[in-house]
Structure 1
Amino acid sequence: MEVMQVVREQITRTLSSKPTSLELFKNKVNALNYSEIIKLRQTERLHQEETLAPPVLELKERLRPELLELIRQQRLNRLCQGTLFRKISSRRRQDKLWHCRLSPNHKVLHFGDVEEDTETPTIESLQEKIPVADIKALLTGKDCPHMKEHKGKQTKEVLALAFSVTYDVEEYSLNFIASSRTDFCLWTDGLSVLLGRDMSSECMRSELETLLSMEIKLRLLDLENVPIPDSAPPVPKPPSNFNFCYDFSQAEQ
């Protein structure tokens, strides 16, 4: 049974490295012998025990708000840079482009049509704008007005990239279709921040875990190979007197 587990692990670990040829696959499998597998298991187990220790988990929770704020600022900065979107059209070749960006003070969304070869437009050149204070809701996927209008005609890929903001008591909406899942995450996260809501995209969760992992490793560099206790050491009793303390008030007189 142990032999089968080792062989299975050899294959799965080798495949995870995505070898580009059968010869390379064979070489990597042979390099992952029994002793190498055991070493990798021990290293991974120690790392897991270290990251799951109560003091480390407590440190992660203390770091989380600071790193979430860092991601929030990154999202707002990305919205200020602006993004190019395509207008919805039944004729793909005649799709027009439009640009949307957030003002530096985070109070207004500026947008307008642009030509195909136009460089990143300035805020002054964008003809339309929506005050952030007028935005009522953020909608995604099939809940978006432009997806309901073309119900049954949109693919799952388009639905996964669609989002809208409603304003003026939800009578009007600004409709988006992102060019990639990354742009979708950046914009929906950024708009959520503007609306005072929590970010919920998979990109945010992945970035947060990466930042937490990096920060924890940096904080624990000085504790390498030092066992981390599950609880803090007991606080010693106070001394019987404090005569060893220097009284600065008498020195000033």
Structure 2
Amino acid sequence: SQIEQITRTLSSKPTSLELFKNKVNALNYSEILKLRQTERLHQEETLAPPVLELKERLKPELLELIRQQRLNRLCESAHRLACSERQTGHKLWYCRLSPNHKMLHYGDVEEDTENPPIETLQEKIPVADIKGLLTGKDCPHMKENKGKQNKEVLDLAFSITYDVEEYSLNFIAPSRTDFCLWTDGLSVLLGREMSSESMRSELEILLSMEIKLRLLDLENVPIPDNAPVVPKPPSNFNFCYDFSQTEQ
């Protein structure tokens, strides 16, 4: 353990003897165990070719799960967003996707209303009429105030273009989570790939959990880099029982 303390500390290339002493003292036995476990998991789950192949096979199913979750979230409740349309100024509006995924309902309601029913949202846009999704500085309401918007607002802005290019529905999400939810959901409706950091994080978590479940029966069993060689078939199959013949 002491040798490993020294070798791991030296591998970080400390620039002074004092820094070396501090790192050696911080690298106690429990920390070394954590590092070993992390390295083992990394070796087994990330680098083993069969596990990498399994991950690629699992990705489409898990991505579809995330897509459905995004659409369900947009349908299950109305989300309050800062919204502006056709340069009429910013207002706090609710927006919600219809259960059949064909209409985007939005509108203003009383301030103290929580999760208003979809019938109370007066305006709507057919999803089929949505032409594109813009984010950040590409949004019309961000271009209008060029140079005045801070990065926090830019990171939360997104716009839906519809009918013709000059018409758009512009939003500012209340949080990065809501921004990822809406941009992912709208991308799904438009037939595009999701690209938010929330999607990537959730995909990694789901992949990690699924891989661990699939490998439960292989605990402490080394995973080979290549599949074993399939043996040649036998010269005949006379040892097989023929069930196709009706027994008398």
Instruction: Give the TM-score range, shorter chain.
Output: 0.7 to 0.9
What is the deviation of 1:248?
A: 1.9
What is the deviation of 1:204?
A: 0.5
For residues 5-24 of structure 1, the aligned pairs below 5 Å read 5-6=8-9
Answer yes or no: is 1:82 the counterpart of 2:52. Answer: no
- Counterpart of 2:118 (choices 98, 111, 123) is 123
For residues 19-34 of structure 1, the aligned pairs below 5 Å read 33=28
Match of 1:48, SS state, is helix
Answer yes or no: is 1:41 the counterpart of 2:38. Answer: no
Q: Deviations over 1:70-101 (max 9, x none)?
A: 0000111111123111246xxxxx97421000
Match of 2:232, SS state, is coil
In structure 1, what is the equivalent of residue 18 of structure 2?
none
Match of 2:71, SS state, is helix
In structure 2, what is the equivalent of residue 20 of structure 1?
none
What is the deviation of 1:142?
A: 1.1
Answer yes or no: is 1:157 the counterpart of 2:152. Answer: yes
In structure 1, what is the equivalent of residue 244 of structure 2?
249
Q: TM-score, normalised by structure 1?
A: 0.83
Cα separation, 2, equivalents of 1:86 and 1:115: 15
In structure 2, what is the equivalent of residue 197 of structure 1?
192
Q: TM-score, normalised by structure 2?
A: 0.85
Answer yes or no: is 1:141 the counterpart of 2:141. Answer: no
Match of 2:168, SS state, is strand
Please identify which structure carries the higher helix content.
Answer: 1
Aligned partner letter, 2:34: L
In structure 2, what is the equivalent of residue 17 of structure 1?
none
In structure 2, what is the equivalent of residue 23 of structure 1?
none
Aligned partner letter, 2:82: R
Cα separation, 2, equivalents of 1:207 and 1:239: 47
In structure 2, what is the equivalent of residue 54 of structure 1?
49
Cα separation, 2, equivalents of 1:121 and 1:252: 69
Runs ≥4 residues deviating over 6 A: none
The answer on whether the counterparts of 1:96 and 1:115 sit within 8 Å (CA) in structure 2 is no
Q: Which runs of 5+ in 1 are unaligned?
A: 10-28, 89-93
Cα separation, 2, equivalents of 1:182 and 1:147: 20
Q: Deviations over 1:160-179 (max 9, x none)?
A: 10000000122311110000
Match of 2:164, SS state, is coil
Match of 1:237, SS state, is coil
Cα separation, 2, equivalents of 1:83 and 1:252: 68
In structure 2, what is the equivalent of residue 180 of structure 1?
175
Q: Deviations over 1:105-133 (max 9, x none)?
A: 10110001022111211111111000000
Measured on the aligned residues, the alpha-carbon RMSD in Å equals: 2.5
**Count of paired positions:** 229
Match of 1:118, SS state, is coil
What is the deviation of 1:8?
A: 10
1:158–1:108 distance in 2 versus 1, CA, 3 Å = same
Q: Deviations over 1:21-80 (max 9, x none)?
A: xxxxxxxx97852x3343333222221110110000000000000000000001111111
The answer on whether the counterparts of 1:6 and 1:37 sit within 8 Å (CA) in structure 2 is no
1:215–1:82 distance in 2 versus 1, CA, 3 Å = same
Cα separation, 1, equivalents of 2:145 and 2:119: 33
